[in-house]
Structure 1
């Protein structure tokens, strides 16, 4: 699917552009904040060609695209014309979720230039190692200016993205960041007296180059002031006076109060993290390596970025970055094993592209496309990464510029002196060993028996140890589905959920149950049972795929008031009890009990009709007629 077509589909299935509060993107994901998550059809989005998966985390609806996410983002912005994309969401989320969203929204726009600058610094160090580049030569100075600019002027870059995130004029944020690193300020830092007067107010000068937190706090304060001034001032001059007053208040206050206090606190936190790391660097590195990809899955990893940047400012190096190398290359090694074993050509092609993406630091295609669905390769990758992390932690390796871990990032492990020591080789050995071990272990032990046929293709059926007997499907041209419940029947269009009411998931009917029990409407197999037990999927012997979704938004009950009597893979006969539930408790908890019964493979049928005449239906009575006139 081309980018424009994919963008159109994503806008449609997230509930339309009117359901979008904000949209940003990172290296692989579209990060939506939606007004109503229930309007988003994540099941359909996952099936779109070009979408790897959907993740709901941190108050965001994240659509994982892969390397070309920026292209899809650009098409969405053209089609939907989001004027407020990136503004502060009004959706209520937890404090932790808000912090993660804040950090990712501020740093994501700057990620590309930070990574580029870091790679150039690594290349310079490599050239110095082989005496191709001399310190302070014109060539060195020009390259250093290109590489160092994103880091030295980081307050300028973050000022722009932070004020934009907080809903103010982003160019004012850019100007405030520039004020913090202005030559007149840096010149005063070279004097002996670091305490100066500003209208008889003493200000302690500190260096703001490469700083993170002071400009973010300044951007937050300025945005509040701008909105306040805009409310009380006349339209004819507020566009000029609001920035004027906001900057005159915010910048001096940052120099006098926020900057020194925040810098001391952030340096203290960075020192505290380093102290914990020094207590037992091996165990700390093993834990971080093992859990890093899990943090990435939920977008929580962005919370570490400010502290990595603070490490560079305080110590001119960072110990966290090297620990992440094994985490990336172990998952890549695991998916390489799947590529080598796969005979299924579609899976082999996906694995091949995932290996290439992983080498360049993008692991989402490997994780969501292959390793996580197979489960065992993902677990192997995480466990093996801890071994590589332990090696790196033992030698206390460091990196000298911010990196987005890839094969190029090894260059950033070389110090500016060009001297390669054991800390560099520890990362190389830790990464390669994690890659190799994950590949070997996954190749021989990483494919579960129940997934072997998927990996090996149809030709491997005789080699598979899977003994489970598949459901015998008789693709009848006409079939009837009985009611799984007793209660009042209503059309799908009256369900208080747009996904079901619009028949996006398929045709069917809905029942408001009066008895807290769902039974099998036909003979078949349970193909899915949600962890929260509020929804169950069946494949009948006649080929119908049925979804019974008990209640609206009842996933939030996390299984409370539901009891499952079957499990995924269970063979059932018509009338067998599937799930029982407490109607009174669910309604008292504030949730609707209306239950859609959906034929999710509706496209396989020419006509699906509700054939029950009346308002109240008993379980076992005929509910839907499925007609298939064409093969």
Structure 2
């Protein structure tokens, strides 16, 4: 029968100031990590003496109650007895991104798109294949074309569904509740009303004039298409997460299963559509009218602004304010300069991407970049933007600058399109007609080549940041031989087990570890190392007991039955897995010297965390005899375990 930790949980909660004093709670491998409104309300002395609690540590803005191996069970008990809102394990909780608003936005977008990059790149290539079929003479009404186009475009059309899922993980909300909200925002009858005439026009005669086809309890609903958009669903899921967390606090457990999602969807869908719809519509209208006004007196400036900010406008869904104007221009004038200015950004984007492909040493970036480049040729740049250039920031900025310059020059040369064609290489078909001649086509070729070259050249001369720290992973992940020096002490001491160093770096006694719990030996005897290289190797033969969800700790059971914990850095659980790339999973059999993980040490240091790594024996042992060396290579003799 499982041990009941409810009494301990209630005692801990009472002595950290009560539920009302808790902002949120996560746990790592040994500790409950509270964020408290007022740490002064916590009773340190009581908790340190309380049976079941090892000690208390205050670090990094957290109030840490050290429990030991039973922490997952105690964590669940605290959540249960305290009914804490939004409490979660470290696998799903996310600390607020740090840095400027721009950096925080990019971190958020990168995190949301990371899980779908592979399918996104594949879908982009399928869209390119469909465009190739259309250009080759396939009827766009044929089954062959429609199936391939649907296979590629389906993900992009219903992108909010995918982002709802990843945003739900980010904001700690039920994933299927988030997807239900996305489904409502994409509901065909909602965004494409079947009634022929609006009930009335809101703000008639102004730039914010909006036709109203239906109302919600008398409140006008402004129609906005959310297909292929990014930001609206993220905002909606974030808002829904706040509702869900509140409902979890106030709804009785007996009806929580269905009332919480019911209330969340009931509130989030109308509020999101009633607020996001008008804001997006009016913002898009304002952007469209502003750019058209500039177009009248400075075509080059309008071209530069549209080209430079087009990818950003699409990201927020604000480009919809330009589409009706462009269609009207083509219908009345026979040509349009607005969409023409949006022709160069995809070429600037793949130019920047090519520079990244050439300069990066990260194998994963290259794997993403190749299909992203192919789809980018056909005007599908989402894999490139969200997979590579936007997370790296500087390549994305360089591509925007390149597109702005190229579109500005094209605007000065009165560049235009004659039909609403596609982007990418097949978009050239929209640049001329039998009557227009080829002059406009030549301008288009010049502008796109210029955008590509500038995007490439500018990116070649800026620093390319690392995304995954995977250079070493490109090498074959084969077991390495432990250095011969490992076996020497065994012959002399007739002991149980020899442990090799998992990292190269400087050694220090466990007592000098910058963490009082490890330094006191509470979790076991061992040694610490300050890594000089990010390659983590298996210290001996054995089985991986666990890889913590945030990748900052690995537990191993050696072939002789010894349990070893490798805890990479101090408080690195707060990084939520960033900077860590695990190469093994729970239950894997490993041999000494095998690569277990790649760690981005510079990233960890930049985030303000220590990289000092304790290697401790968590099972019973008489003693550990560390090496007398002050610095070791990975695989060198580290310590002997006496059992």
Same-fold call, TM cutoff 0.5: no
Q: TM-score range by the shorter chain?
A: 0.3 to 0.5
TM-score (structure 2 length as normaliser): 0.43
